[in-house]
Each structure stands twice: as structure tokens, then as C-alpha cells.
A and B are shown apart, each in its own frame.
Chain A
């Protein structure tokens, strides 16, 4: 899933300072799962914004609350159309893709991001999510025992650890386990340590040329 965190409250408040009617839109897929922008977070942010407005002795602010199944899905976003037209701006609690999908579908509505999109990751423990994939477009997990050094090593090293690894932890932060130690242990477990002697070729970054487009039916659609 895509993992995102909510922006600092002051930043959100600043973005919204000139608006009297704002619709907060949550996302019921990745953003709900990573506990950042689901229905409950929408309700909480709305309450916090109303309470903040009150302390400023400002005019009333009208905040709407709505959560859609998936903001990156045009057919979900289009369902927002009527409701959205009653507001001056939308504050999206979706990932970057969600924000842009709303922009695209609900023109000329102003759409603002409430989230900072972080990475593609997975649930680690209660309320903790870890980055797992760098979306490089050229997967090498078959060579590294299913552990991605690109996403999980701060330096993205492809051929073994750097000199900064210590007791299985990274020199960048002792909170980070060294990806290459994990890869080594995993290959040992698989009885494939010898495979690590083969060099991994330098990354072909042309495969992640932006903007990325993916055609599920290949040439058929290209024609």
C-alpha cells in the first residue's frame, strides 16, 4: 500500500486560512489502512480545525466530511461532484495520486493536500509501517532473497553493505536494520550464499522514466 502521514497542523491551517467552506475527503483504501486518512481521521481533522477556528475568534468555518472508497479511482471521485460544488475548496486526505485525481475530475475546484505521501510499504506492528518498495521498475528481489536493498538501505547499495554497518544496524540510525545483513541472513537460510558472489548490475534507471504509464494490454492499446 501507499503510506502517507498527515501534514503538520499549522501547515494545513495556513493552507485553509482564506476559506469559509472546506470539504475534507478521506480515502478508504491505503490511507485508511495506514491509519492516516480514513473516515476516523477525517472526523478528527474536521473537529480539530473547527476547534482551532473557535480559539481565533474568527468567523465560523463550514467543514464537510466525506470518505470515498479510493481517491485514485475516477468513478469514486465523480460521485463527489454535487457535494463538492457547495464548497470553496477540497482538502484531500488521499495520497498524491488521490489529490491529483480529484483535481483532474472536479475542475475547476481547488484541491489541497492534507497528506505527505511517504512510500510504498507494509504494516510492521500496531501503527508502524515500513518502506518496502522503491518502485524502480526493474525488480531485483530474486537476487537478494526477497529483501529490497534499494528501498531498505539508505544508500540503496546493490552489492553488499557499506562500512557503516554495525551489529546488524545502519550507521544512518541504529533504528534501521542493515538491509544487507538481512539479505545475507536470508540467503544463508535459503542455502544460496554463493549467489551473492555474483555482481548485481547497475540499475537501469531508464525503466523508471517519468511520467510512468502502464498499459495492461500492451501493444493492443498503443495502436
Chain B
């Protein structure tokens, strides 16, 4: 197993966000570092913190123990905290002479623009609508993604010196050829928002509207009342968004008709639950066969479906149940069954288009058959998630940079990923309840378009972040190992084993408690979660400060950085604090070192819990203190100067 295995959350994320990095920063109370880590790969932190599909959470190994870490909510917390404090980037002007045109200002286009601007190019974004953001601005209702949030992320991106031209329609106002005259590269990120219609009789009846059109009206501030009885056809996010919007507009009976079951729904479970609690009804395994009405839609004739399992197929095949027809009353019908790209405008040029209007690209680099023209996002893949669109934008920016600079194509290396926890280890990990995000009450929700989810408070976020298992940041054995195998004997989880020449520690199973490192006689084990170097540096800093400010009388206080992260530490004159990820990480050396510098005392602030984060840590703290006390007595220093002070802990 490689020593630099990637945590599963990061591996699952289409843009490989360093989830562990920012979650552990929040766990330490360091929100500024958290947002920096997120921004390294994602220019839409506030948006993704709200509507990301969170494949990271499905991969989270905490889910093997109890529930996955609420990663999405933590991203939102970091982004929201930073939004008030974050300064706009000061842009120093482009570095290269080449100009790049990005067509489409959805997440894919704006991400490419952002990354290209960071690389040093002058970028112009062309948007057909009058507002930037693509589906973010007009496809998702405000109760789920407020416009101000989208605007903040977009403003930050534009602050990199990106020019945006709105109301500029490809095919009407300019062509790809026109762009190639003024720009050295073009990125087409046109999205995929042409609605598909079911092949049913009566689909042309007035009163039948597409979800895209309906949500667009809402985003423009219109509040159309469609009637008392609404039927929404489809099972994706847009279907749920349309249904919940109708509830807010006063419709009494809103029914979502979906031909498969809840399990296959592209919309998340949480969203379905929220919709249900607001009064949306669901008809699963149901498909429309005819829209009824004279001169205007009055109802939908549906048929029940049966799911036949097919070997090798995840979703199975759908079969109509004969004779199961029934009618649902409808004053209006909203269609949300699927979307395809609208690429009529570029059909006449030599760009290769695939079926359903998609643009064909060579591979993930987004290269089209026209030199200098790249494409990505939903226009290539069909409708996908926001983070996948962002990933396309990032890859396109990289490809364009390589194309303009004549660099070789990017080599894609499959990361080595941390494996799942062994069953034995799962039973040893201390359980911790997932924090629930506060939300508006149902009564409050259905009366307005106010954001439903309210975000974590600081204390909640810190506590939630502390549930992270820090996968892959555990112990690493160096060549200095003398094969004493003391680590095998001291590990509370039984992870180290004797190898042929030295100890072996499986990074996938190590919990990063650090006890082996504290007990290794050859200092051959280091733990990535606070390395030896970092730990020594923190102690040295505290001692340097103490000797500068209060050389005559000072004391060192070790405290649990998790315990302290949720609140601000009390500053006491003459006392210098050193935070630790686990108190068992303070080895005898660190307990003695302050006395070498003349400290009048050393104190360990420890909560009352026996196993707070790691098994058996309390026992090791006591052992280290006892050993250090013995040495103090030998030296002739009063051992009472070293003490453990118990702190209250929730």
C-alpha cells in the first residue's frame, strides 16, 4: 500500500477536492485555511456547499461506523463564514497575450474562465441570457440556492479580471468562426436545457409547461399560480424543484409522477423527504400515457409500471401493467423528464455533433474536431451535476493552456485510494452522531422562497468536522525502523504488524492516534496528522514566545485542539498554549522540554472522557505523565509542577 493513499472522499469527488484537508481545518477551528483549500480546486464553494450531489459523502468511511461526515454542509459553512470576510482577488492583469472566449456562463464555462484567468490569460465570457450563471441562476429555486449566493461566487470569479458579455447569443450575434478571428481558443459550454417531451397524446394542450420554463419565470421574479392541482412528470432535481415551487405558490395538490421507484430517483433522499414534508405527493412506478382535456389540460391518464430485474443491469427494465390505467386531475402539468443540448446555432459549422445535439469531443480534454475549439459540460455529457460541470471546466482550462503553450497532454494517474475499514476496526471506532442542519419549519417554508436549510452554527460545524476519520493521514514507518515491533504491542487498534525487515502499518486501517509514534524508540514512525516536525515546531514557538515575553516565570499548557476549536481559548498571562490533535500524542520528551527552557510548570488540559476520539488514549496520557514525573524527580524538580487538569466536556 502506498504511503500517500488518497482518502475515498477526495477520490470520489470529480475535482478531487482535498476534503480531509478542509474538514480537518474546520475541526481545528481554522476556517480561513478551510476555504483556501476548497478554493484551490473549486470556484463555486457557496454553490457546491448547497446543491452538490456529494458523492464524497457516499464514499466517506465514517459511514461504515455510523453516518458519513456532513461534508456538503461543512463546505457551505466554510464558504458562508468566508463570504463576509473574503477579500476579492487583486488581479494584476494577464500574463500571456492570447485571448480566450468562453461561450456559456454556467458552472462549466465560468470554472474554465476562472482557471484560465489564474493561469494568466485574458478571458471573455459570452452569455445568451441577461444574467450569468446558467442553470444556477435560473434553474434552481431560491429556497434551495439563493441568488445572492450564486452572485457572490460569480463576483469572486469575475474579480480575476474576466470580462463578461451578456445577451450575446451564439448563432445570432456571433459565430464560432467570428470568435476564432479575435480569440486564440474557444470553449463551448452551452449547457443542456432543451426540455424533452413525452410521446403522449395531448402533449400540445395549453396548461402543459416545461419545468425549465417555469423555473425561469420564477427566477425572474414572476409568481404564476398554475392552479390547485398540479402534476409534475419526472424524478430529477428539477421535478422536485418545480413541485416544491408550486406548493410555495399556493397549489394544494401537487403530485410527482415518476416511472421508477424512489431508489432510482436522481434527486437526493433528503430532497424527497423535504418535498414530502411540505406536502408533495409521489406516484412511483407510474407513467403518463395521455394528457386529457378539451382546449386546456384537465388531467393526466397514467399507467402503473412494473420493474423487471435484468441481470447485469442496475436499473432493470420497465413494463406496463395492463389494465392499471388511472386518471389524475390536473389544472397544469409540468414536464421534467429530461434535457438535451440546444446546439441548432452551431449545426451549420463543421463541428461534429452527436445524437441529441451533443457536441462530440475527442476525450475528457474537451478537444473538438476544430483546431482551437474546445467543448465541455452538459453540452458534451448531457445533464450532469454541478461538480461534474466544474470538472469539465477545469479540464478544458488545462487543455486550452496546453494547446496554447504546446505542452504535452496531461498524464492521468489513477490515485491509490484508501481502502474501506476492516470490520474489526469498524467496531473499535468511537461513534459520533452526525449533526443535523437547522432548517425552517414546514409552515415557514411553504409561505415563502426563503432558503430552507440554515447552515451550521460554528460549534456545530466544528463538532461535525471532528467526526472525520482523517483517512490516510495515519502512521508511516521510515527506514529508521529497528524492528523492535513495539508499535505492534502498543497500538490500541492492532494495526501494525511485523514485516520481514521492519514494522508495517496499513495506512487504510490506521486511525492516526499516534500512540505508536510516541512509543517508537527509534523515532521511526511519523503520523501525517501532525507530524513530528510540526509538533516540535509548535512547542518551540510556544517556548520562544514565553522566553521572549516572560522569561522569569512562564508555564506551558497542552490543550486538545478539538476541545478548544468550538470556543475561544482563555488567555492567561504567563501561560503559553500548545494544541494537540490527541493528548496521547504528547510524549515524555514534550513534557520535559519546557523545563529545559525554565518553565515553572507544565499542564495538560484533558477532558473527562476516557476514550474521546481514540481508544485507550487516557491510559497512554497517564503513562507518559508518570514517566516524565519520575525523570523530574531524578533531576530534582518537584514533580507536582507537571499536572493534568480535568476540563468539562459535553
A-to-B contact residues, CB < 8 Å: 8-10, 28-29, 32-35, 38-41, 43-44, 47-48, 50-52, 54-55, 67, 123, 125-127
Contact = CB atoms under 8 A, between A and B. Distances in A.
Contacts of B522: 28, 32, 38-40, 67
A47 B637 contact: no
Given A9-B635, A47-B592, A47-B593, A126 B521 contact: no
Given A9-B635, A39-B522, A51 B482 contact: no
Contacts of A29: 482
A32 B482 contact: yes
Nearest to B594: A51
A39 B635 contact: no
Interface string B608-650: 0000000000000000000000010011110000000000000
Contact of A51 (B485, B490, B592): B592
Contacts of B592: 44, 47-48, 51
A48 to B, nearest CB: 5
27 contacts: A9-B634, A10-B634, A28-B522, A29-B482, A34-B484, A35-B521, A39-B480, A39-B521, A39-B522, A39-B523, A41-B521, A44-B588, A47-B593, A47-B596, A48-B592, A48-B634, A48-B635, A51-B595, A51-B596, A51-B635, A54-B595, A54-B598, A55-B636, A67-B522, A123-B485, A126-B486, A126-B489
B91 interface: no
A41 B480 CA distance: 15
Given A40-B589, A51-B637, A126-B489, 9 more contacts: A10-B634, A32-B522, A34-B484, A39-B522, A40-B587, A41-B521, A55-B636, A67-B522, A123-B484
A39 B634 CA distance: 21
Interface in B482-523: 482-486, 489-490, 520-523
Residue from B521, B522, B592 with most neighbouring chain A CB atoms (10 Å): B521
A55 B480 CA distance: 34
B589 A44 contact: yes
Contacts of A67: 522
Interface string B464-494: 0000000000000000101111100110000
Nearest to A36: B521
Contact of A35 (B486, B595, B636, B637): B486
Nearest to B637: A55
Nearest to A69: B482
Consensus secondary structure, chain A interface? helix
Nearest to B623: A127
Contacts of B593: 47
Nearest to A35: B521
A9 B631 contact: yes
A33 B587 CA distance: 18
A17 to B, nearest CB: 14
A137 B189 CA distance: 83
Nearest to A41: B521
A94 to B, nearest CB: 13
A52 B521 CA distance: 23
Contacts of A28: 480, 482, 522
A33 B637 CA distance: 29
Interface string B523-535: 1000000000000
A176 B485 CA distance: 25
A62 B118 CA distance: 51
Interface string B570-591: 0000000000000000011100
A169 to B, nearest CB: 25
Contact of B521 (A38, A47, A51, A55): A38
A35 B631 contact: no
Contacts of A35: 484, 486, 521
A15 B486 CA distance: 31
Q: Rank and list the top 5 A-B pairs by shortest CB-CB distance, nearest first.
A: A9-B634, A38-B521, A33-B484, A126-B489, A52-B635
Contact of A32 (B521, B587, B634): B521
Residue from A41, A44, A48, A54 with most neighbouring chain B CB atoms (10 Å): A48
Nearest to B482: A32
Contacts of A9: 631, 634-635
A31 B315 CA distance: 63
B510 to A, nearest CB: 19
Nearest to A27: B482
Contacts of B596: 47, 50-51, 54
Contacts of A47: 589, 592-593, 596
A50 B593 CA distance: 9
B634 A33 contact: no
Given A40-B522, A47-B592, A33 B482 contact: yes
Nearest to A43: B589
A38 B524 CA distance: 10
A67 B588 CA distance: 19
B639 to A, nearest CB: 12
B143 to A, nearest CB: 58
A48 B588 CA distance: 10
Contacts of A8: 634
Nearest to A128: B489
Contacts of A33: 482-484, 521
Nearest to B484: A33
A31 to B, nearest CB: 8
